[in-house]
């Protein structure tokens, strides 16, 4: 049975906290425009999903480089990552968002994507 993909939860949580802080205004609250609320929320949620997907992708590549995955595991994980990327893009497209729109600005740390 394939070993599940893992990543450092503490680092992941810290990155998520930073991403959420970056999405907030100066008073710490998330700024939502009533006119575009669906798109704003979709951008935030899909941006976080894509960010986590990319973390998983990097971890998968590290495991491939380390030789700890069988061919079958590589195929299955790669396929899951590829299809999840396409699914996120498809949903983003339904909200009028391009892949570049899913990038969350982390201030001095740069962007998530």
CB-count burial class (<10 Å; 0-12, 13-18, 19+) for 98: exposed
Per the CB < 8 A criterion, the answer to whether 84 and 39 are in contact is no
Q: Which is nearer to other proteins, 17 or 62 (CB)?
A: 62
Could you tell me the smallest distance in angstroms from the CB atom of residue 21 to other proteins? 16
Could you tell me the smallest distance in angstroms from the CB atom of residue 32 to other proteins? 18
Binding site for other proteins (CB under 8 A): 26, 57-58, 60-61, 64-65, 71, 74-82, 100, 103, 110-111, 113
């Amino acid at each position: 049975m394939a070993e599940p993909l893992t990543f450092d939860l503490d680092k992941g949580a810290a990155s998520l906290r930073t991403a959420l802080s970056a999405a907030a205004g100066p008073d710490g609250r998330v700024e939502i425009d009533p006119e575009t609320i669906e798109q704003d929320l979709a951008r935030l949620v899909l941006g976080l999903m894509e960010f986590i997907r990319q973390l998983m992708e990097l971890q998968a590549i590290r495991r491939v480089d380390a030789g700890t995955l069988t061919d079958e595991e590589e195929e299955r994980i790669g396929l899951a990552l590829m299809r999840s990327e396409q699914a996120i893009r498809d949903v983003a497209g339904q909200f009028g968002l391009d892949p570049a729109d899913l990038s969350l600005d982390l201030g001095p740390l740069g962007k998530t994507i």
